[in-house]
Homo-oligomer: A and B are copies of this chain.
Amino acid sequence: MFTDMLNFIKEVDKLKIIERRTYVSDGSRRENSGEHSWHVCVMAMTLFEVYERREKTDLFTSIQMLLLHDIVEIDAGDTYAFDVSGYEDKREREVRAAERIFGLLPEGTRNKYRSLWEEFEEGETNEALYASIVDHIQPLLLNVSTEGKSWLEHKIHAHQVLNRNQWIKDISPRIYSQISEWVGIGIEKGWLMED
């Protein structure tokens, strides 16, 4: 059992070499999915106090989801938020990855991790919603911190960012108003294209 756990821990180390489209805050290089996973966890911990649904949400469950949420990218790669064709077979690629990677674990942990990942993907429980909100806004913070570096590279329009995050409005007006502010800055500075 211990050996299987250690094999899994060694295997997931590969998440550190999966590159995302966003840049780290000094703009020197692209962010990888391992450090991204850490950053969203710190973000989830820190913003929880201002989150409107905090009393109905178990923060530890959200954090466990965030620790695991990108592990499937080791096989499936990172699918860019605005990549339409990449989303076509995303689910299929990721399910295969989940089976292989969580499959390295002893049964109890395998089932637990698989179900945390599925819950995150379904995005219905309060815990999954909060984890997903944080995962959605972290790249916005990095874009604003790097003068829109990734937005500019991919010629992203303001409406794309707003559409992608629209669902957050009803769940957390406070966080959504921050998103609107970032998009406003993006437009003003010319980092996001206007329609």
Interface residues of A (CB under 8 A from B): 1-2, 5-6, 8-10, 12-17, 24-26, 28, 31-32, 34-35, 37-39, 41-43, 45-47, 49-50, 59-60, 63-64, 67-68, 105-106, 108-109, 141-142, 145, 174, 178
Instruction: Please state if A10 and B141 are interface contacts (CB–CB under 8 Å).
Output: yes
A137 to chain B minimum Cβ distance, whole angstroms, is: 9
Distance of A64 Cα from B64 Cα, bound (Å)? 11
Return chain B residues, CB-CB under 8 Å to A45: 64, 67
Each complex incorporates copies of this chain amounting to 2
Q: Please indicate the chain B residues that have their CB under 8 angstroms from the CB of A28 in the complex.
A: 17
**Contact partners of A142 in chain B: CB under 8 A:** 13
In the complex, 30 of the A-B residue pairs with CB atoms within 8 angstroms, ordered by the A residue number, are: A1-B49, A2-B174, A2-B178, A6-B141, A8-B46, A9-B39, A9-B42, A9-B43, A9-B46, A9-B47, A10-B25, A12-B42, A13-B25, A13-B39, A13-B142, A13-B145, A14-B25, A15-B35, A15-B38, A34-B34, A35-B38, A37-B38, A42-B67, A42-B68, A45-B67, A46-B105, A49-B106, A59-B60, A63-B63, A63-B67
